[in-house]
């Protein structure tokens, strides 16, 4: 009886989505794309830039995009429900930082952005013009330095366990039809505005639909409802951007699986959106394995043959599944924290070498299979939190000789034979 009841719920949910969508559950109702705001949304005065018209796989090859860096804990920072820039201790972004990232050898910068607190009420969910303008300023600093750039919706989907910190809650959307409709509407309105504001920017600017969406269980998800919502949101993101005109008709767009997890990206529950523009989609996943060394900082040793083989095993499937089909793959976040042991210099030395070996191996293995690794830098080098910082955020210089050496190893790992 329980199995039959669950099947009825499953089937009913599928019919509801399909009835709204057309051929597949991931299709997007036309009403989302045709929305006309009560008052016209903001448009920038940015002049339309010329674009090459290349498929993204060719663009990456021709532009030699091999390694990237994250501007973490900056425009994605938030406090009291408001996305900011300096909320988590980093200074305002300046041109010197972007110049330094480029000079260090990176090709692309991911600019995480948290929009909550800058979004007005229904029905328009109007984004504050100051927020759009500042995101544009930072992205253009990257372009001025010669970097490609990625902007996204970042901690708008954040949560702490089952407690939602952001409005883009895939857990609530998966559990409740009315919540799903409300969140999906807001998601569509937000991307409608971002796409409109940036539609004249060149192909150097890539959009990413969202960050690590999950319900508090992180990488594990076998929930049909949430997976269906995620696929629908990815499709809605693509269709909304394409319908906004300008350079967005062919802009390169990046999509994530559940929690941006590499295993979820290969799972049957994830589908790449359909796209009216051929060859313009990028797949992304994040990679922090093993967690105890990369994020938690409780493990100081790494580098056995089996540990190195795991990275190969995790990355290899993406070449056949996506890259060989001309869908580039970006590792949107990866890296390992700085571990300090003031009272145990032997362990600190071991942790330092393990960090160097790990990051270099991740970057070289990514290059081996054609993936583009993007290092996660949150600006932190002290305290009890995650110490991923590599650059002085004011000068754009490496923040220590060790950071300079680690950056050099990363870049050499992907560019040594160029």
Nearest to 109 by CA among 141, 83, 86: 141
Phi (first) and psi of residue 192, to 5 degrees: -60, -40
CA–CA distance from 70 to each of 111, 128, 188, 343 (Å)?
Answer: 6, 24, 25, 31
Residues labelled as active-site residues:
212, 333
What confidence tens digit (pLDDT) does each residue in 218-245 have? 777 888 999 999 999 999 999 999 999 9
Are 16 and 177 spatial neighbours (Cβ–Cβ below 8 Å)? yes
325 lies in some domain: yes
The per-residue DSSP string of 312-362 comes to: HHHHHHHHHHTGGGT--EEEEEE-------TT-HHHHHHHHHHHHHHHHHH
54 lies in some domain: no
> How many helices (H) and strands (E) in the chain?
13, 12
53 lies in some domain: no
> What residue ranges in 20-84 does DSSP mark as E strands?
68-70, 78-79, 82-83
Rg over CA atoms, the chain = 21
Does the pLDDT at position 20 exceed 50?
no
Cα angle value 132/114/292 (rounded, 5°): 150
What confidence tens digit (pLDDT) does each residue in 183-193 have? 999 999 999 99
Quote the domain boundaries for residue 395: 59-415
Nearest to 57 by CA among 367, 253, 372, 280: 280
Nearest to 348 by CA among 335, 337, 359: 337
22 lies in some domain: no
pLDDT band at residue 159 using 50, 70 and 90 as cut-offs: confident
User: How many structural domains compose the chain?
Assistant: 1
43 lies in some domain: no
Are 150 and 206 spatial neighbours (Cβ–Cβ below 8 Å)? yes
Nearest to 93 by CA among 365, 377, 353: 377
What confidence tens digit (pLDDT) does each residue in 80-136 have? 999 999 999 999 999 999 999 999 999 999 999 999 999 999 999 999 999 999 999
Burial (Cβ within 10 Å: 0-12, 13-18, ≥19) of residue 86: middle
149 lies in some domain: yes
**CATH at residue 299:** 3.20.20.80
Beta-bridged to residue 164, according to DSSP, are 159
Per-residue pLDDT at 126: 98
Does the pLDDT at position 317 exceed 50?
yes
Euclidean distance between CA atoms 136 and 107, whole angstroms: 19
Per-residue pLDDT at 3: 35
Mean pLDDT of the chain: 92
Per-residue pLDDT at 218: 75
- Rounded mean pLDDT of 368-386? 96
110 lies in some domain: yes
pLDDT band at residue 31 using 50, 70 and 90 as cut-offs: confident
Handedness of CA 234, 240, 242, 248 (dihedral sign): negative
Are 231 and 25 spatial neighbours (Cβ–Cβ below 8 Å)? yes
pTM, 2 dp? 0.93
Could you give the residue ranges of the DSSP H alpha helices within 70-150? 95-103, 129-144
Q: Max alpha carbon distance in the chain (Å)?
A: 66
């Amino acid at each position: 009886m329980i199995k039959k009841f669950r099947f009825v719920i499953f089937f009913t949910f599928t019919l509801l989505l399909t009835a709204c969508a057309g051929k597949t559950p991931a299709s997007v109702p036309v009403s989302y794309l045709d929305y006309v705001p009560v008052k016209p949304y903001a448009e920038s005065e940015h002049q339309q830039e010329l674009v090459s018209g290349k498929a993204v796989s060719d663009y990456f090859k021709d532009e030699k995009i091999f390694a990237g860096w994250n501007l973490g804990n900056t425009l994605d920072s938030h406090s009291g429900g408001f996305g900011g820039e300096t909320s988590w201790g980093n200074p305002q972004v300046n041109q010197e930082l972007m110049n330094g990232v480029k000079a260090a050898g990176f090709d692309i910068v991911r600019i995480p952005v948290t929009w909550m607190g800058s979004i007005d009420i229904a029905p328009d969910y109007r984004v504050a013009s100051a927020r759009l303008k500042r995101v544009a300023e930072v992205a253009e600093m990257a372009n001025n330095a010669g970097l490609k750039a990625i902007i996204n919706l970042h901690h708008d989907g954040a949560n702490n366990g089952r407690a939602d910190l952001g409005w883009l809650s895939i857990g609530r959307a998966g559990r409740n039809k009315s919540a799903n409709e409300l969140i999906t509407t807001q998601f569509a309105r937000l991307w409608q505005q971002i796409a409109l504001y940036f539609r004249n920017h060149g192909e150097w600017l890539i959009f990413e639909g969202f960050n690590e969406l999950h319900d508090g269980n992180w990488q594990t998800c076998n929930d049909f409802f949430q997976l269906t919502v995620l696929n629908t949101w990815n499709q809605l993101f693509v269709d909304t951007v394409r319908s906004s005109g300008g350079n967005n008709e062919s802009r390169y767009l990046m999509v994530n699986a559940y929690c941006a997890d590499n295993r979820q990206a290969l799972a049957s529950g994830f589908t790449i959106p359909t796209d009216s523009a051929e060859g313009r989609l990028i797949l992304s996943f994040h990679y922090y394995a093993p967690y105890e060394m990369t994020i938690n900082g409780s493990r100081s040793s790494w580098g056995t043959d089996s540990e190195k083989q795991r990275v190969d095993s995790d990355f290899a499937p993406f070449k056949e599944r996506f890259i060989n089909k001309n869908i580039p793959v970006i590792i949107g976040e990866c890296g390992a924290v700085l571990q300090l042991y003031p009272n145990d210099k032997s362990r600190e030395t071991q942790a330092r070498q393990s960090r160097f070996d790990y990051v270099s191996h991740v970057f070289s293995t990514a290059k081996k299979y054609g993936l583009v690794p993007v290092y996660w830098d949150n600006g932190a080098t002290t305290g009890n939190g995650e110490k991923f910082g590599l650059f002085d955020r004011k000068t754009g210089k490496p923040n220590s000789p060790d950071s300079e050496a680690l950056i050099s190893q990363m870049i050499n790992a992907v560019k040594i034979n160029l």
